[in-house]
Structure 1
Amino acid sequence: MPAAKRVGVSDIAKHAGVSIGTVSNYLNYPERVSDTLKEKIGASIKELGYTPRRNTLLPQRENAVPRLIGYIMTDIEHSLFTFIHEGAQEVCEENDLQLIALNASSDAQRQNELVKTLIDMNVAGILLSTISDSPEDVAAARAANIPIILLDHTNPRHADQVCCVLENNMAAGQIAADELIRIGCSRIAFAAHSFDYESVQDRQMGVEKTIARTHGSTQLELINSKGLMFEDGYQLGLDIIDTMKRSGLDAIPDGIITVSDALAAGVLSAFHDHNGPRVPEDVCVIGMEGARLETKCPMSLTVVNAPAIDMGRKAMAQMLDYIDNPAAHVHSTTLIEPTLIRRASTRAE
């Protein structure tokens, strides 16, 4: 009979209804966890019979390969990257690996420095949510004989082939635009920032291609939100309200697609706080991540849900194959499909 699968942190998180990071804090930094969650997690540990594993951060013999994976995220403030972390951590936990996450803060130079830091640490592999084409980071990891996998970005131009795992961002743009057109919107705005980011460009392209198929019956406005956070969306919402008060409802979009959910939450909050257009009667709003926004958003947000946790899992599965079978490993690009989740910020059929 095969041995029973050992209970891991991901099993505890699922059973207790919390994130993997919360369970990790419970085990390592209990002062960061509320008493209520401690009770839930403790009960799950007892019921499932979880036994903490040995610490694999340090090699067990001289010159052994460190069992540490480094993950550099573009910006920790964006939930896409923290969800990727959760998926990667789940696979690491199940395979006796440790995962360390570092924040590039959307700064390309900082990203380069963090890659060098992980190389100096002689990590077993690097997951990189790269800010832009970064052939120098790929080359540095390759020169150090450290496997590297890119997240949320395709293989850089002028770089050796590497594995890439990303959302089908063009499909995400198409899904959002299709939904707004289906429910009757004819003046659609795509609000974004960092238009040089590959993921933003691909989402914009998906929106544009879908609207082009309407042969002029649907208008598209591109709006530079000057940022991707809640505050940027709030200011955008105020600007839309000002236009509506000066020129009427017909002068503003009747459908808004925001490249991040935080932007959408800011727009909705501004509308709510300042007697803006009614949502969804006057304006429908769709976000493009699937972030946790319960504390900031005045209503439930329709989203094109990014498969971020699956991206993290898939990237780590690729990494394991890369580490265990370096000669036979085949580099590939994996697109994971997004899904639409309809909520109150868009009209029903």
Structure 2
Amino acid sequence: MPPPANTARNVGINDVAARAGVSPGTVSNVLNRPERVAEATRLRVEEAIRELDYVRNSSGRSLRAGRSDSVGLLVLDVTNPFFTMVAQGVEDQAAEAGRTVMLLNSSEDPERQRRSLRLLAEQRAAGAVVMPVDDDVTDLLWLRERGIPWVVLDRGDVGADVGSSVYVDNHAGGLAAGRHLISLGHERITFLSGPLSLEQCRVRLAGLRAALDENGFDSENGVRVIETGSLTAASGDKAAEEVLAGGPRRRPQAVFCANDQLALGLLKGLGERGLGAPADLSVVGYDDIDVAALVHPGLTTVAQPKYEIGRAAMRLLAAELDDPGGHRYERLLFEPRLVVRGSTAAYREP
């Protein structure tokens, strides 16, 4: 009985060599060092590769080199459209450098972050772009000790002596949101936050308080902070009851949410209780994800250059991978901008 014909899944380098009439070493040179092979021979090997639909096995090559061509991208919440746009920026920049991206999700969980970084080490990742879940950089330092460089994204407090970082001025974003609400006559403002262990939430709150301070308001007592367990729409929906606690006379005049997901969930929760923005209270989000412009009324929000910061983070990582000895850590700061839509309006006494 004749042996089965080769298929794409079991074609090896020896099959290509036999079809092209060359040695396996010549095929290897065509794949890895084509400049060493005469043009006529290279073209013959490439034709054999196409005819046999040969797919190279990069895992063995990666292990021999000690590193793969892949980089890791660890995000806080893979379901959040903000991180989807960041990931697209990272991936597009990586593709231009001939690298692939492994997407990992920490779900804002320190232990899951630790496991993900260890997985990158086991997979011999070339490097990583990481959005940390808290201020502890121990896991990141552990990763660098194993020869895997990284760039921190969306965190501004990582020192330049530790690693490179790309972030958006969250204080300026909170300040812009606060100034907007104050200009509309709102004085009683609630900050609906995710976990305050996240630097982004803390700094956006600080920016809001700075806006109250510069306008002569009591920033400590003038802002009520509601901390949720996650930056999700479900958390915003659930928080609506706490936002409205105390009745119409005590509810806030406006709510500044730490991200758009919380804001959209809050709008849903308000609607289920017969209330809405801006008729009953103004609502501001943060990130400017696509759906923020599609809901009615449109969500006023602080826009971040999501795609651009993803590309920038990958550029910094690629620079370190290409020149590990001469590379210097960098910190890149982007500016947010306020996008005013229909969810905010001038305050009116109920």
Aligned pairs (5 A) from 1:1-349? 58=59, 63-64=64-65, 65-154=67-156, 156=158, 161-216=162-217, 219-241=222-244, 243-244=246-247, 248=248, 250-276=249-275, 278-293=276-291, 297-347=295-345
Which runs of 5 or more residues in structure 1 are unaligned?
1-53
Cα distance in 1 for partners of 2:244, 2:157 equals 41
Tell me if the contact between 1:183 and 1:347 (Cα under 8 Å) persists in the aligned partners.
yes
Residue 183 to residue 320, structure 1, CA distance change in 2 (3 Å): same
For residue 133 of structure 2, what is the amino acid of its counterpart? I
- Identity over the aligned pairs, expressed in percent? 24
Tell me if the contact between 1:190 and 1:223 (Cα under 8 Å) persists in the aligned partners.
yes
For residue 263 of structure 1, what is the amino acid of its counterpart? L
Deviation at 1:266, TM superposition (A): 1.7
Q: Secondary structure in 1 aligned to 2:64?
A: coil
What do the CA deviations read for 1:59-93 (whole angstroms, capped 9, x no partner)?
76883442111111122233332221111011012
Cα distance in 1 for partners of 2:205, 2:291 equals 23
What do the CA deviations read for 1:245-299 (whole angstroms, capped 9, x no partner)?
xxx3x321111100021211122122223212x4223311100122243699553
Residue 90 to residue 348, structure 1, CA distance change in 2 (3 Å): farther
For residue 317 of structure 1, what is the amino acid of its counterpart? R
The residue aligned with 2:38 is none
Residue 296 to residue 230, structure 1, CA distance change in 2 (3 Å): farther
Cα distance in 1 for partners of 2:62, 2:271 equals 61
Cα distance in 1 for partners of 2:244, 2:139 equals 44
Cα distance in 1 for partners of 2:102, 2:257 equals 30
For residue 203 of structure 1, what is the amino acid of its counterpart? R
Residue 220 to residue 119, structure 1, CA distance change in 2 (3 Å): same
Q: How many residues align?
A: 290
Q: Which has the larger radius of gyration?
A: 2
Deviation at 1:237, TM superposition (A): 2.3
Tell me if the contact between 1:258 and 1:288 (Cα under 8 Å) persists in the aligned partners.
yes
Cα distance in 2 for partners of 1:307, 1:89 equals 16
For residue 291 of structure 1, what is the amino acid of its counterpart? I
Residue 56 to residue 221, structure 1, CA distance change in 2 (3 Å): farther
Deviation at 1:57, TM superposition (A): 5.9
Cα distance in 2 for partners of 1:171, 1:120 equals 39
Tell me if the contact between 2:190 and 2:256 (Cα under 8 Å) persists in the aligned partners.
yes
For residue 325 of structure 2, what is the amino acid of its counterpart? A
Cα distance in 2 for partners of 1:240, 1:145 equals 47
Q: Secondary structure in 2 aligned to 1:211?
A: helix
For residue 175 of structure 2, what is the amino acid of its counterpart? Q
Deviation at 1:172, TM superposition (A): 1.1
What do the CA deviations read for 1:101-124 (whole angstroms, capped 9, x no partner)?
011111111211211111111111
Q: What is the TM-score normalised by the length of structure 2?
A: 0.75
Q: What is the Cα-based RMSD across aligned positions, in Å?
A: 2.7
Residue 226 to residue 147, structure 1, CA distance change in 2 (3 Å): closer
Cα distance in 1 for partners of 2:198, 2:58 equals 34
The residue aligned with 1:9 is none
Cα distance in 2 for partners of 1:62, 1:240 equals 54
Q: Secondary structure in 1 aligned to 2:291?
A: coil
For residue 127 of structure 1, what is the amino acid of its counterpart? V
Cα distance in 1 for partners of 2:208, 2:63 equals 54
Residue 236 to residue 156, structure 1, CA distance change in 2 (3 Å): same
Q: What is the TM-score normalised by the length of structure 1?
A: 0.75
Deviation at 1:137, TM superposition (A): 2.0
Cα distance in 2 for partners of 1:262, 1:62 equals 41
Q: Secondary structure in 2 aligned to 1:223?
A: strand
Cα distance in 1 for partners of 2:269, 2:64 equals 57
